[in-house]
Structure formats: C-alpha cells, structure tokens
Structure 1
C-alpha cells in the first residue's frame, strides 16, 4: 500500500475530529463517558500542541498520527485510522515512522491506551512497548526503540 504523510492543516480539523470520534468514541464512553463539547474542546486543544500528520492512500485521507516531542521523551498523543482502513498496516507504518523519530532522537516513546481497547493494547505490547502505569482505565506504555533487536525496529 502506497501511503503518504502530510502535515495537517486547518481545513482538516473537522475530518480529524470525525475520525477521532469514529475510532475512539466507544472506548472513551466505556472509560469515562462521552461529552461532545468536552471532547471537541479537548481535541482542539491537543491538536495545537505537537505535530499532526494526515495519512493518505491514493489521495484519500485514511488516518492520522499526532505526537509531541518533549525534552526527555516523544509522546504519541493519538493514532487513529479510519475504521474501513484498519488492519491494512497503515497504523503500523505510521507508528514505525514515530519509532524511527524516537530512536533518532534517542528519546523513549510513550503513549496512553484505554485498557478496554484490548486490540490496541496487545498490538503495542507485541511491538515491544512495556506497561509502566495502569489506573484501571488507561494504561501508559513506553518503548525505547534503540534498545530493541534490529529486526524489531
């Protein structure tokens, strides 16, 4: 699959929130309840921090990855793939790019995943992420890619 990555622009805002809502609403609702106004405000605030890239395939938006480089780590804020495009290695390629950034900066990569999102949780664990915190609703995972065997990078 031929994927392209481009910086998100203001014209993507509605699509980004819609994609977030379609992929995450069930997990957010299960963990803490969905309040539309709070979710929109929090999403907009989050996007103002860090970098967000839209993933396209054959010119069609199929997902996005949002991260922030902090002084001592790289934080994966969101990785959302349009439901009909999931399980096609799009998320894997997006995450591989972020793992490469983390490795080149020699900073560990951190993320939060809802405990109820077992598919994502297990996927991150298979990739070498280690759980460092779990409050019963959200698990914090980390990865130091330069410590992994070369075949896993």
Structure 2
C-alpha cells in the first residue's frame, strides 16, 4: 500500500475535525458526553502541538496522524482513519511510520485510548502496546521495547 503524507495546514482544520468527529464521536460520547463546541476547541488546541499529517491513498484523504515529540518520549496524540477506509491496513501502515520515528529517535512511544473503544484497544495490544495505566475511561499504553521496528530488525 502506497500511502502519501503531507503536513496539515490551517485550511485542513474543518476536514480534520469532521474526520475526528466521524471516527470518535460515539466513543467520546460514551466516555464523557459530546459537546461539539468543547470538542472543537480541544481539538484545535491539541493540533497546535506536535505534528499532524494527512494521509492519502490513491489521491483520497483517508485519515490523519498527530504526534508530539517530547524530550524523553513520543506521544501518538491521534490516529484517525475515515470510517469508509477502515480495515484496509491504512492504520497499520500509519502506526508503523510513528513506531519507526520513535525507534529512530530512541524514545518510547506512548498513546492514550478510550477504554470503551475496545477495537482500538485490542488492536494496539496486538501490535505490541502494553497498558501502563487505566483510570476506567482512558488507558495509557506504551510500545513494548521488543515490539519496536529496530528491536525486531536486531532480533530477526
């Protein structure tokens, strides 16, 4: 699968928020309730931190990935694939890119996932993330060292 990535620009903000809403509204509603204005403000604030790239496949915007490199770790802030493009290995290719970045920087990769989003939680677990904290609504996970691309290459 040949995915292309481009840096998100301010003109993408409506598409980004719409994609977030389409993929996450049910889970956020279940966990906290959904207030469109609060979600929009929080989403905009989050995007001002780190890097956000739009993912395209065959000239179609199919999702986005947002991460932040901190002094001692990499946070995967968000990975959203538009609903009609899910289950096509797009998410797997995108997460591999972020895993490779954290490996290259030699920093652990962390993420938060809503506990009610069982499909995402299970997927992250299958690809090597382990839970380190859970408050009942949000699970914080870290990529286990043995799951990093560099570790797999060294031990292949």
* d(CA) in 2 for partners of 1:49, 1:103: 21
1:139 is aligned to 139
State the Cα deviation string for residues 4-37 of structure 1 (Å, max 9, x = none): 0110011110000000000000000000110111
* TM superposition score normalised by structure 1: 0.95
Indicate conservation of the 8 Å contact 1:5/1:56, yes or no: yes
Higher alpha-carbon deviation: 139-148 or 33-42: 139-148
SS at match of 1:149: helix
Q: Does 1:43 align with 2:46?
A: no
* d(CA) in 1 for partners of 2:33, 2:121: 20
**What pairs with 1:3-152 in structure 2 (closer than 5 Å)?**
3-143=3-143, 144=145, 145=148, 148-150=151-153
* d(CA) in 2 for partners of 1:104, 1:142: 16
* Change over 3 Å in CA distance of 1:152–1:140 after alignment to 2: farther
State the shift of 1:107 in Å.
0.3
Structure 1 runs of 4+ with >4 Å offset: none
- For structure 1, the 5+ residue unaligned runs are none
- For structure 2, the 5+ residue unaligned runs are none
- Across the aligned residues of Structure 1 and Structure 2, the Cα RMSD in angstroms comes to 1.7
* d(CA) in 2 for partners of 1:115, 1:37: 23
SS at match of 2:75: strand
* d(CA) in 2 for partners of 1:133, 1:67: 20
Indicate conservation of the 8 Å contact 2:100/2:149, yes or no: no
* d(CA) in 1 for partners of 2:128, 2:155: 8
